Structure 1
């Protein structure tokens, strides 16, 4: 019997919180995570490998195997669609968010009260900073709301190819069909994102662990989402 088969145990697909624990059930979890962290340092190639590795981990969970995929340079083709989708959506969201912020700041400066000599009035700080704070909070909420799209986007891309990454109508249908599951999965996806950056507080060395670990968490979240979403919500 192979090592993978011996380590295979029923997947806790009904427990969303188990997404944090399942990677540690693999006896070789430390070596696999750290090696994938080292691979992830390589620009573009490493990112492709990490995304493909995360999807391979999701495949293992689909088979009921709580085993992390072996570390190595074998996952680029598995992750290329998700990488391309992430790049395109990331650029689109960045243009939308920062472009809107630029327009809003320009509008505030144009509407700021002027003094009689044409310069900025003393009331400018009272006018500008509260509005700036409000805009920043609003854009922060928008970014958080965008995370609701992350779980269906990944699942659609994985199951239907790159075209599925832009099936906005399908995303909306999935969220409307399973709102609680979509929000819960998005919340844990956001938590995994924060975990990925915790390693930066250890002189960035910790990212070798936290980034691959966060992707393993995300694989668990996605598997829970697949199992618990209402029938017909996902492709």
Structure 2
């Protein structure tokens, strides 16, 4: 039962994570801060997990990664529309990822596909972290996707723990740690609280944010000054 619960919530959240980012990129054509390196690695990672899931009949992995693969392909299309990628580069990213993952699973073994997916997963977000730490504008990153991208690996780590799958567990923990860095840079706590306290998400959230903001050390220092 715990495994089923983790599976259901993790799959749902994983699917929802990409939606705000794809919608933002397609609607605004703003892709500042989006790492094409992370996109390419994420495509290969999803394709590899999908190949692994199909081979071992893991419905959760297949359901999660097939849809995520489609959403990442849409994101690649959005980058093409925004001029951040050439059309042929977008095609190579998507088709190359699916072809490589399928070949590894068929020519070697499901374990090899899972190992490749986990290895890629360890570093998939590294290019995005480098962009975030470089101080470059991150306006192209959808805030909700960044938040969900931090929560989702935690749930997958729980799924890996209760099912006894160390590959999923370790990969999810590493992904969560990298996501925390991206979250911190895209939504700095003080700036985010200041935005929320102005009523961006409604008066109730504004009141809570204002109370939390007043308890931050620098806020107390400013008040004393």
TM over 0.5: no
Whose radius of gyration is greater, 1 or 2? Answer: 1
TM-score computed with the length of structure 1 as normaliser? 0.25
